[in-house]
Every structure is written in structure tokens, then in C-alpha cells.
Structure 1
């Protein structure tokens, strides 16, 4: 960084303490922390106050929980590829997902959108959160992008919060 080749640094999967320690060691701000953050795993929300206070970004990878929050997968339909080994497809997530999807579907109905778009819009309510959803088709990219235009009401946000808090 001192020589000017690197302007900014980001990290991945750092706890708050690790993020702060890394900045101290580096002697420079670390502008982003890429972590798994979605409605089935809200552990990274403890990073948000720090991101707000220091104008940094929490980048949510897997914001649709590997497709579980899109309704594509469930108990009777888990992925048959590498994702089947990911922790998100554990019994707890598979048990909680239908109730969450019901709420997301209800909210989506108010906005002519999809549950996945609502899940992304919920994350984007926080100005310090960026999402990087995966997409395999142009249509998925367009659907994901439209989530940034979705304006959830406080009541809808409360419904989502109520069903996703552990």
C-alpha cells in the first residue's frame, strides 16, 4: 500500500475483532468484509454497527442461501451438486425455510416480485450492505437487479424480521 500499488483492501469471513485487528496491523482501513449473510444466517449483523460508524461495507455472499431462499430447494429437493455439502442445507435451515418463504411470498405478492427479490431487498435496506447473488441466466441477473428498486414497508420488514430471528 505504501508504494501505491494497492489502494484499498477488503477481507473475507473476518469476525469484527479480526477485522479491527487487521486494520491495526495494516495501519490502514479495510473497506469491506465479505461474509455469508442472508435471512437464514444473520450472524454477520454484528458487523453492521462498525460498518456504519466507519463508513465500511459488509458484502453479503450467498445472499439467497445457495438458492434455498428462492424456493428452488427444500427438504424434498436438495441440490445434487457440490452445494449439497454446504452447511446451509442442514436440517435446521431446511426446517425454517418454508415459514420464511411463506412470509417472503406474501410480501412479494404486494410488490409483484419474487421471494428471492424480497430476500435481497431486505439485505439492501442497510446502506452499508452490498449483495453478490449468483446468477446463471440473464433473467436471473435482471430479477436480482430489480430487488434494489423494491421498497419494503416497515410492516413488511417487521414480518420478515420476526420469522428470521433465531
Structure 2
């Protein structure tokens, strides 16, 4: 699978719990999303699994991703907890299994071969990492026997991570963008509001359209209700070169997620 085979966009589920999570994912499926992102850390894998059961969508048409909790990254824990994730999700495999954070029990010589083993068992079709720097990503590419499909990182107009995205692209690694609308802070950015007003769109839609234009980047916005549909409709927006340049100029290197706080539930 090439990086561009990850469905665009993904649907993020961090912060969604219980029936509300199930309802949001069902709505996403009905809207046209076919890529759903969850994690052991989010404590909502069962809710996502219920959405898979309830929605009128074929499992083989869904790109399902989950992540191994930082405390579960010892070799045998990766194997055991991945099996538990599959049970909670009610599936025989996930399409992508990530290392959630390279902290706590993470040991590249132990953790990464465990991902290879999980893939060999057929429990995941692809492996990925999350919150990896260029150095850690380069190390993972060298150690893994499996192709590394994706690195999921914080990415939005105020934190564009051009060097990391370029490095990933050169190594055929897709960049999956969490917090792609900067926790809705894009609504307060003048340039995005001006572009949105001119296009009868929202600043959130403009920010997502910018992500869609970036080669090798797949955003995974969260949402409920009408926002789920609005986020998906941003796929229809084709930004001009001038508009893209205005958004490119917004980079400030501003993180919303503390990289030293790996227990923080995104």
C-alpha cells in the first residue's frame, strides 16, 4: 500500500466516549468517512466497535487505526494488548497499528519487532508510529522489517512541521495530522476568516482544505453533529496558490500538545 491509500480524511475520536462516540462514528460513516482513528488511551475502542456493527458499511471498506498505550510497549505487552484491542473493537484485524508515544515502556529494539510480529500474525495490515521526531522516525525505519506507513503528529496552520513532513514523504511515510484545526483556534486566525468569508465557507473548512492540498498529509478532525459533515465537505474546496501561500505563512511552531506529557489524552 502506498501512503496515498490511507483514506482522506480520517475521523478522530479522542475525547469521544460511550454512546456519544458510537453516534459520532456512525454519523461519520453515513457522511462518507472511511478512516477512523482510535487508541487504547482513549478508552473508546468498544464504542468504535459498536459503530462498526451499527453502521451500514462493509468492514473491508473501513480503514481502522488504533494505537498501543505507552505503558504497553514492552514486546509481550504489545502482543497481548493488541489482541485485547481487537476484542474490544470486535474485529479480526486493524488496518494500522501505531506506537502512541515513544515514552514509558518504549524501547525501539523491543517495541518495533513486536509490531512486526503483530503484522505477521495478521492482526494489523500496516504499522505506524505517533509523535515521532525525525531522528526517532529514521531509527524506526531502520529497525522495522515492515514498511512504516504513517507517523501521526500534531499538525495545523500554526504548527506546520515542514521538515518532518518532507522527511516522511522522502521515506514513503504518510503524515497523519491530529489537532488539524488547532482545537478550533483556526476560527480566530484573521487570514483564515478572510479566505473563508470570500468562499462562503468556515475557517475550519479552509484549514482542512489546506491540509488536503499538502502532499502526504491526512488530517483526522474530530466532530459531532453538523460539524462532521462540514469537515468532510472541505474536500470540495480547491484553494488557490495565493491562498495556500497565505496559510503557509501562518506557521509559528505553536504546539497545543505538550510532548513531555505522554499521558495527556488527545
Q: What residue is the counterpart of 1:25 in the other structure? A: 143
> Where does residue 204 of structure 2 map in the other structure?
116
Measured after TM superposition, the shift of residue 151 of structure 1 is 0.5
How do residues 12-161 of structure 1 correspond to structure 2 at under 5 angstroms? 12-42=130-160, 44-71=161-188, 101-137=189-225, 139-161=226-248
CA distance in 2, matches of 1:126, 1:50: 14
1:163 CA displacement: 3.5
Q: How much has 1:165 moved relative to structure 2? A: 4.9
Deviation above 6 Å: which 4+ runs of structure 1? none
Q: Structure 2 stretches of 5 or more lacking a match?
A: 1-115, 254-266
Distance between the aligned counterparts of 1:59 and 1:113, measured in 2? 24
Q: Normalized per residue, which structure has more helix? A: 1
Residue 120 of structure 1, CA deviation: 0.9
Q: Give the Cα–Cα distance (whole angstroms) in 1 for the partners of residues 169 and 159 of structure 2.
A: 20
Structure-1-length-normalised TM-score: 0.74
Give 1:31 deviation, angstroms.
Answer: 0.6
Residue 132 of structure 2 aligns to a residue in which SS? coil
SS in 2 for 1:31: strand
For 2:155 and 2:236, the matched residues in 1 are separated by 20
CA RMSD of aligned residues (A): 1.7
Report how many residues are paired: 135
Q: 1:113 to 1:142 in 2, by over 3 A?
A: same
